[in-house]
Structure 1
Amino acid sequence: MANINLRKFLSENKIVALLIVVCLIWALFGYLTFNTDTGVSGFLTARNFSNLLRQMAITGILAAAMVFVIVAGEIDLSVGSLLGLLGGIAAILDAVYGWPLAGTISFVLLAGAALGLMNGWLTAYLGIPSFIVTLGGQLAFRGSVLGLTGGITIAPVSPSLRYIGQGYLPGWLGNGCAIALFVLLLFMAFRTRRKRLQHSLRVPTPVMEATRLVGIGILILGFVLVLNSYQGIPVPVLVLLFVLGIFTIIAKGTVFGRYIYAVGSNAEATRLSGVNVNLVKMVVFGLMGVMAALAGLTTTARLAAGTPSAGFGGELDAIASCFIGGTSMRGGVGSVIGALVGALIMASLDNGMSMLGVDTFWQQIIKGIILVIAVYLDIISSGVKRL
C-alpha cells in the first residue's frame, strides 16, 4: 500500500515534490553556512540567490529545449560543444570584427538553428541514431571552436554584449516583467481548464486551482522582492523566464507541442495518423540549436570573452536537469517547468557545496548519485517492471 501511495504521489505531484526538495536543499545549506558572529547565513542572502539564478540560467536555457528532444524519444550530446562554438563565434564577430550587437545575435541564432536542423536531418531522414549523430557533433563542434579561436581566449567583448550576461533590470521593469509572467500563467491555466472541461476531462476544483495560482503569485512576488533588494533581476534570468514562457506555450498550447509528445509516446501510431514524424524531430533539434546559440551568447557575455572550453559538460547538466525534473528517459513524458526546477536543484547543489569548500570530485559524485535516484524514481512512478 505504501509503495502504491508513493507511486501515485510521484506521478501526480512531481513539481510539488521537486519544490520541496529545493526547499530542503536551501534549508540545509542555509544551516551549514550560518555565521554565528553575524547571525546571517551565507547561502540565504539576496546576493547569493542572484548569483545562483544567474548560474542556473544557462543550464536552464539548454534544459528547456532538451525536454523536447528527450520527450520526442531522442538525445542530444552535442549542445555543450555547440554552445562553445557559437559563443566563440559571437566573441569573434564582436571583439575582432566589431559587428553590431543585433547582427551578432541574429547570425549566431541562425547558425545555431542551421546546425541543430542538420543534426535533426541526419537523425530523422537518414536514420542515423541521434546518440551517434550528436556524439559526432560534440567532437566536431569542439574541434571547430578550437580551430576558430586558435585555442586562445577572445576578449574583450563590447559592453552591449556583456550586458546580456552581466546586466540587471531596473526595479520597475523587473516588477513589470513579473506581472506579465503572472498574467501569462493565469491565461494558460484558464485556457487549459476550459479545454479540459470541453472534452469532459478531469480538472481540479476551483478552490484548488485558485490556491495553486495564489501560491505561484506569492512565489513570483517573493522572487522579485529578493532580487530587487540586491541589484534587480539579472538579464540572464529574464532571458530564461522568456524561454520558459515560450516553450511552455509550445508544449501546452500548440498542435506542434502535442505532436512532440505523441511522437515520443508512439512514433509509429503518430505516423499512421498523418503526422510528419521526421519533420517534427528535425524541428525539435532545430529548437535545440537555437537554445544552444542563446546559451552560447549568454555564456560569452557573462565571461566577457569567448573561451574554447566554454560549455564543456553542459549537455550532461542539461540532460540531468531534465531527468531530475521528471522527464522520462523513454520519451513522451516531461515538462519545461520540471526541467527548470531540475536545473535549479543542480545549481543549488553546485553553489552550496562550493560555498562549503567541498572538493570538486565529491560534487560530481553527489550529482551523479542524485541523477541515478531521479531515474529510479521515474521508473517506480511509471510502474515499469524490471526484466
Structure 2
Amino acid sequence: MADTVHSTTSGATGRAEGNLVTRFFRATEIDTRMLGMIGALLIIWIGFHILTGGLFLTPRNLWNLSVQTASVAVMATGMVLVIVTRNIDLSVGSILGFTGMIMGVLQSRFLPELLGFNHPALWIIALTGGIIVGGLIGTLHGVIIAFLGVPSFIVTLGGLLIWRGATWFVTSGQTVAPMDANFRLMGGGTEGSIGATWSWVVGAIACIGIVAAIINARRQRKRFAFPRRPIWAEYVLVALGCVIVLGAVSIANDYYWPVNIARRYADANGIAWPEGGLLISHGIAIPVLIAIAAGIVMTFIATRLRFGRYVFAIGGNPEAAELAGIKTRWVTVKIFALMGVLCAIAAAISTARLNAATNAQGELDELYTIAAAVIGGTSLAGGIGSIAGAMLGALVMQSLQSGMVLLGIDTPFQRIVVGAVLVVAVWLDTVYRAKAK
C-alpha cells in the first residue's frame, strides 16, 4: 500500500504537476496563512533594518526582541482559548500588574521578615503566591461569566478597572524594588540566560523533538488509515524546522556580554583578560524558554486533551456542544482560570525583567495580547485558533513596537499603528472566513 495517496483526475494531473508550488504546499501541508504571516514578519524586519541603518537585524536587537515578546506571548497562548469560545478578556494587563505587585511585595517586604533576605525558597513562594492569585482571579471571572450570565466583555472590562485600582492600593502607588536575585533570572539579562553550550543542547533537544513529533504523527496517520505525506515532504519539514531552531540558537549565541560586565566576571574568577576582549555568549534567555514551554504545554492542551477538543467544540457551536453533554459552563471557568495563571507567569517575567513591580505595569498589554491572537489566526467568530500563530503574532506586534522605538517614533503614533494593525487583522480574518465558506 502506498504511503500517501493524493488522488486526482487525469485532467487535473497535468495542471497539478505543472504547478510545483501548489504540489509542494499540498504535500508538506504547510499552513499558507501562517506562511503569509511569516512573510509579513520578514518584510517588517527587513524594512526596519533598512530604515534604522542596519540596527534592527543584529544579534543584540533580536535577542532583546525575543525577551520583550515573552510576556505577551505567554498570555496570547491563553487568549487563543478565550477567543475560540467566543469570549474576550480585557483584564489581562491589569491582572499582570496586580499579580506582579503581589509577587513584588511578597519577596521584598513580607517574606524577608519571615525567612530572611536571599533565602533560596523566597522566589519560589513569591512565584507560587502570584500564580495562585492569578488563578483565583481568573476563576472568579469565569464563574461570573458562566454561571451568572454576565458577558465576558463586561466582566473583564470591570476587571481591567478593578485590578488596576487594586494594584495601586497594595502599596499606595509605590514602586516595589529590588527583586530577589533568583527571581530576576526569569527576566533575562546577562545572568538570566543559559549560555552558548546549553543553548546548543536545547537546540539539539528541539531538533530531536521535531523528528519525534513527525514520526509519531506519521504513525498515527497509518494507524487510523489517514493519508500520509510523501517521505520527501517529511524530510523537508524536519530540515526546515531544524534550520529555524539552530539558526535562532546561533543568533542568540552571537550576542555577547557587555565589555564591563565581562571584565568584572573575569576579575572575579581570576581569568586573564585577553587582548581581543573576553567573548561570553548570552545564549537563549530564560524568559524565552518559559514562553516556549508555555506554548508547548498550551498546544498539547489544545490539540491532545479532551478539554482542548471541548473548547473548540464550544467555539464552533455552543448549542450543539451543550446538547452533546459538554459541561460548557465549567469549561468556561477553567479557560479563564488558566488565563489568570498565564497572566501571573507573564507578570513574573515582566517584574523580573524590570527588577521592580510598578503601578503602571501591564498597561495596554490586553491590546497587544488580543492583537497577537487575532493576527495569529484566531477568529473572533470562534472555533478557530492557533497557539503557534498567536505566539508569532506576539512577535509581529513587538517587532513593530521595537522598530518604531529604534526610529524614534513617538508613543502616541506607535499606538495608532498598533490599533490600525489590529483592525486590518480582523478585516483579513473576515475576508478569509468569507472565502472559506
Structure 1 length-normalised TM: 0.92
Moved more, 287-296 or 105-114: 105-114
Structure 2 counterpart of 1:156, one-letter code: P
- Partner of 1:14: helix, strand, or coil? helix
Write the distance in 1 (CA, Å) between the matches of 2:171 and 2:211. 46
CA drift at 1:198: 4.1
Structure 1 counterpart of 2:420, one-letter code: I
CA drift at 1:384: 6.6
Tell me the residue number matched to 2:15. none
Tell me the residue number matched to 2:430. 379
Structure 1 counterpart of 2:365, one-letter code: G
User: For the aligned residues, what is the CA RMSD?
Assistant: 2.0
Change (3 A) 1:323 1:330: same
Structure 1 counterpart of 2:238, one-letter code: L
1:31 aligns with 2:56: no
CA drift at 1:183: 3.0
The answer to whether the 8 A contact 2:210-2:242 is kept is no
The answer to whether the 8 A contact 2:74-2:294 is kept is yes
Write the distance in 2 (CA, Å) between the matches of 1:345 and 1:128. 33
The answer to whether the 8 A contact 2:222-2:228 is kept is yes
Among 60, 77, 100, the alignment partner of 1:47 is 60
Change (3 A) 1:373 1:200: farther
1:170 aligns with 2:189: no
1:153 aligns with 2:153: no
Tell me the residue number matched to 1:282. 333
Among 165, 181, 184, the alignment partner of 2:209 is 184
CA drift at 1:358: 1.5
CA drift at 1:295: 0.7
Tell me the residue number matched to 1:369. 420
Structure 2 counterpart of 1:110, one-letter code: I
Structure 2 counterpart of 1:279, one-letter code: W
- Partner of 1:97: helix, strand, or coil? helix
Among 351, 361, 364, the alignment partner of 1:310 is 361
1:72-91 to structure 2, matched below 5 A, reads: 72-91=85-104
Change (3 A) 1:271 1:189: farther
Identity within the alignment, %: 37
Structure 2 counterpart of 1:350, one-letter code: Q
Among 396, 418, 427, the alignment partner of 1:345 is 396
Moved more, 268-277 or 76-85: 268-277
Structure 2: segments with no counterpart, 5+ residues: 1-21, 113-121, 256-281
Tell me the residue number matched to 1:38. none
Write the distance in 1 (CA, Å) between the matches of 2:357 and 2:37. 34
Tell me the residue number matched to 1:20. 39
CA drift at 1:16: 1.0
Among 84, 92, 95, the alignment partner of 2:108 is 95
Change (3 A) 1:358 1:52: same
1:234 aligns with 2:285: yes
- Partner of 1:127: helix, strand, or coil? coil
Among 363, 382, 386, the alignment partner of 1:335 is 386
Structure 1 counterpart of 2:405, one-letter code: S
Write the distance in 2 (CA, Å) between the matches of 1:184 and 1:121. 38
Structure 2 counterpart of 1:24, one-letter code: I
Structure 2 length-normalised TM: 0.81
